[in-house]
């Protein structure tokens, strides 16, 4: 249980940093040099204010200094990242692939939340995630590197073709995110991820239209659906492919 605890704590701490990225990168602010501070009163936060999840609970969701309400998004991102890190360790153990996957999961969490709030997928996060994750993909195995390279171009070109066919229905950020997903997942699993993304996105869009919550011209962020597909494919892509092959009798 000690290893699982370490994985979860590390995930929560990374989640805290992801919150910084989510807040600052869309505003083109530094995520390193500016100290953590309250966005309402501007007061610099101390160490006791920055403990993942627990600080939010102890402060009852309010700033220690100005008592402004703190968004529950902060502990939720920290908890989600902790769960994903724990799941990665439980699935792959201490392995280079585990490291590449937690980089991938961190990327998915950050771009999903940013896409929901700002309707953009920043190139900075995609580039940083790719640069950090690539060495660990290489260390996992040479086959994963080749598979990832093929997945990168296959997913990117497929989404580009869909974007051109839909005449603007697909954003450039979605295309680039799909390509990066291919790098981490490989060409087979990224196809599973894209299928799940389009399926869940389509069903969700139909529900929103039927419920009157969205109109046909309203933009719906696709990044979270891509991230969901990526997570499912990372853990169960091979099983889904094997199931599909067996059902089709191939």
pLDDT tens-digit series, residues 110-130: 999 999 999 999 999 999 999
pLDDT of residue 168: 67
Residues 85 and 8: beta-carbon distance below 8 Å: yes
- List, for residues 209-234, the tens digit of each pLDDT value: 888 777 777 778 999 999 999 999 99
pLDDT of residue 91: 95
Question: Which residues lie closer than 8 Å to 141 by C-beta, 6 or more apart?
Answer: none
- C-alpha to C-alpha distance for 37 and 126, rounded to whole angstroms: 26
pLDDT of residue 104: 98
pTM: 0.93
pLDDT of residue 250: 64
Q: What is the mean pLDDT of the chain?
A: 92
pLDDT of residue 246: 85
- C-alpha to C-alpha distance for 239 and 233, rounded to whole angstroms: 9
pLDDT of residue 90: 95
- C-alpha to C-alpha distance for 112 and 224, rounded to whole angstroms: 5
Name the token pair of 161. 């073709």
Name the token pair of 73. 């998004």
- List, for residues 180-196, the tens digit of each pLDDT value: 999 999 999 999 999 99
Return contacts of 210-219, CB within 8 angstroms, 24+ apart.
Answer: 219/119
Residues 136 and 101: beta-carbon distance below 8 Å: no
Which segments of the chain have a pLDDT < 50?
none
pLDDT of residue 247: 83
pLDDT of residue 175: 95
């Amino acid at each position: 249980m000690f290893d699982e605890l370490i994985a979860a704590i590390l995930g929560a701490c990374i989640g805290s940093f992801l919150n910084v990225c989510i807040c600052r990168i869309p505003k083109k602010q530094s995520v390193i040099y500016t100290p953590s501070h309250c966005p309402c009163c501007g007061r610099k936060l101390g160490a006791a204010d920055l403990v993942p999840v627990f600080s939010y609970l102890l402060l009852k969701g309010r700033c220690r200094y100005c008592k402004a309400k703190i968004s529950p998004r902060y502990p939720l991102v920290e908890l989600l990242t902790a769960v994903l890190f724990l799941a990665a360790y439980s699935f792959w153990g201490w392995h280079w692939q585990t490291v590449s996957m937690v980089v991938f999961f961190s990327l998915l969490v950050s771009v999903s939340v940013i896409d929901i709030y700002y309707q953009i997928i920043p190139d900075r996060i995609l580039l940083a995630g790719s640069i950090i994750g690539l060495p660990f993909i290489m260390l996992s195995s040479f086959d994963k590197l080749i598979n990832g390279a093929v997945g990168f171009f296959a997913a990117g070109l497929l989404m580009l073709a869909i974007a051109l066919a839909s005449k603007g229905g697909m954003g450039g950020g979605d295309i680039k995110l799909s390509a990066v997903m291919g790098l981490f997942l490989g060409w087979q699993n990224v196809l599973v991820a894209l299928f799940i993304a389009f399926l869940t996105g389509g069903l969700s869009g139909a529900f929103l239209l039927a419920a009157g919550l969205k109109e046909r011209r309203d933009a719906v962020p696709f990044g979270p659906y891509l991230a969901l597909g990526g997570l499912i494919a990372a853990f169960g892509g091979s099983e889904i492919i094997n199931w599909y092959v067996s059902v089709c009798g191939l």
